[in-house]
Amino acid sequence: SAVISQKPSRDICQRGTSLTIQCQVDSQVTMMFWYRQQPGQSLTLIATANQGSEATYESGFVIDKFPISRPNLTFSTLTVSNMSPEDSSIYLCSGGQGANEQYFGPGTRLTVT
């Protein structure tokens, strides 16, 4: 298994600003993902964070709004840019050693005012 931490755990941001969320894994993982989860809802995949190359985004998510970095096999960041109240949500990262096992970070609760 993998132990995943995220920073910050929560934040309140003003409209039009940007927030960068960090995701750290305690061991090297082959795959890392970023999700968004609204209260009471399922997990929506934002993108796959690819080590050393551009992230792969899901339909409805674009790089300009959610730039992602993954400089190595244990770390990734997600930036939520030019925020609006609609971006208020919980953002989670996940990572795994491959063959699909994915473990989640504790999430970042974002509120945009």
Partner 1 sequence: GENVEQHPSTLSVQEGDSAVIKCTYSDSASNYFPWYKQELGKRPQLIIDIRSNVGEKKDQRIAVTLNKTAKHFSLHITETQPEDSAVYFCAASKRDEKLTFGTGTRLTIIP
Task: List residues binding partner 1 (CB under 8 A).
Answer: 1, 30-31, 33, 41-43, 45, 48, 92, 98-107
Q: Which is nearer to partner 1, 40 or 85 (CB)?
A: 40
Q: Residue 85 corresponds to which tokens in the numbers above?
A: 């109240």
2 contacts 103 by C-beta, under 8 angstroms: yes
| Closest separation in Å from C-beta 62 to partner 1 | 17
The Cα–Cα gap between 27 and 8 comes to: 20
Q: Which is nearer to partner 1, 14 or 39 (CB)?
A: 39
| Closest separation in Å from C-beta 75 to partner 1 | 18
Q: Which is nearer to partner 1, 30 or 84 (CB)?
A: 30
| Closest separation in Å from C-beta 43 to partner 1 | 5
DSSP 41-84: S-EEEEEEE-TTS--EEPTT--TTTS-EEEEETTEEEEEE-S--
